[in-house]
Amino acid sequence: MYKHLTPEDYTVSSIVRFGSHKDYIQEKILIDSFVIKGNMKMAAGLRKYIKKHLAELKSLPQIRLIDIGPAIGAITTLFALQELNRFNLMDKTRVYLVDVSQKVIDETREGNFLFPELFIDPSLKKAMLKKLKSAKGYTTSVETLPFKDNYFDIALAGFLFNNLHNKSKKTAAEQIQRIVKKGGFIGIAEEWFENYKKEYALKHAYDKIPLSYESIISPDKLLKYFDSIRITERSHKTIAAKENYYYFCCEK
């Protein structure tokens, strides 16, 4: 029978509770295809942004990239690094990882995950793992990001907001906008189900790795929280309804 999840489950989510991290990553890739699709769309948006601001990015001594809520393996970061590499910008990129779980940070930096070679160029694996190993990790809530205003060039949140309590979502969006510099890039990807409990939760009620606590937010509602930036592109509403994800890319 489907276990009714409570907000308390959030603090011990499936990502934190279960040590079988390779299985977790593989399951998200093989079953939750919307996670990959959302990240790919966000990465495509970043590619357009890089093309537009290439001269400026090349002139920077360092590009600061933050991934908030990366999960073990930081697949959102891997997609972003792959795009930066297209323009010879990966080497100068400094990665920052923020998660509520120290295990997520540690396992990601140590490379203890299944590298997704189906989606990320295998020839980049060594360089990417080195980049993750040197990443700065912060175990903290997105509500209290310990960074100065206008600090980052690129901020990514792949499937973060569905794992936040409703009361935290607005503050999280404000924090993300605060830490990105003017003209910087923000990429957001989220899952969306018209009826989460019947469509998705029931389907995965008996998974080896149970679901974490989730609080789904609609595209229109989340976009209202990002009110200090310019949306450069977003998924069509029909995409969210049919494929269970949405994304939007922004410039501050």
Domain locations along the chain = 20-251
pTM of the model: 0.88
Give the model's pLDDT for residue 120. 94
**pLDDT the model gives residue 22:** 54
pLDDT at 5: 47
pLDDT in tens, the chain (252 residues): 334 545 444 444 444 444 444 555 555 555 578 889 999 999 999 999 999 999 999 999 999 999 999 988 899 999 999 999 999 999 999 999 999 888 889 989 999 888 988 899 999 999 999 999 999 999 998 999 999 999 999 999 999 998 888 889 999 999 999 999 999 999 999 999 888 877 777 777 776 666 666 788 999 999 999 988 999 999 988 888 888 899 999 999
pLDDT value at residue 113: 84
Instruction: Please check whether residue 237 is in contact with residue 252, taking contact to mean a CB–CB distance below 8 angstroms.
Output: no
Give the 3-state secondary structure of the chain: CCCCCCCHHHHCCHHHHCCCHHHHHHHHHHCCHHHHHHHHHHHHHHHHHHHHCHHHHHHCCCEEEEEECCCCCCHHHHHHHHHHHHCCCCCCEEEEEEECCHHHHHHHHCCCCCCCCCCCCHHHHHHHHHHHHCCEEEECCHHHCCCCCCCEEEEEEECCHHHCCHHHHHHHHHHHHHHEEEEEEEEEEEECCCCHHHHHHCCCCCCCCCCCCCCCCCHHHHHHHCCCCEEEEECCHHHHHHHCEEEEEEEC
Q: Which residues 6+ apart lie within 8 Å of 4 measured at CB? A: none
Tokens of 66: 């933050």
Look up residue 145 and give its amino acid: L
Residue 100's pLDDT is: 84
Closest CA to 214 of 232, 229, 196: 196
Q: In this structure, what token pair is assigned to residue 168? A: 């935290």
- The answer to whether domain 20-251 has CATH 3.40.50.150 is yes
Nearest alpha-carbon partner for 42 in 249, 250, 252, 251: 249
Angle, in degrees to the nearest 10, between helices 125-133 and 75-86: 120
Strand order in the sheet with 136-139: 136-139, 93-99, 63-68, 152-158, 180-191, 245-251, 230-234
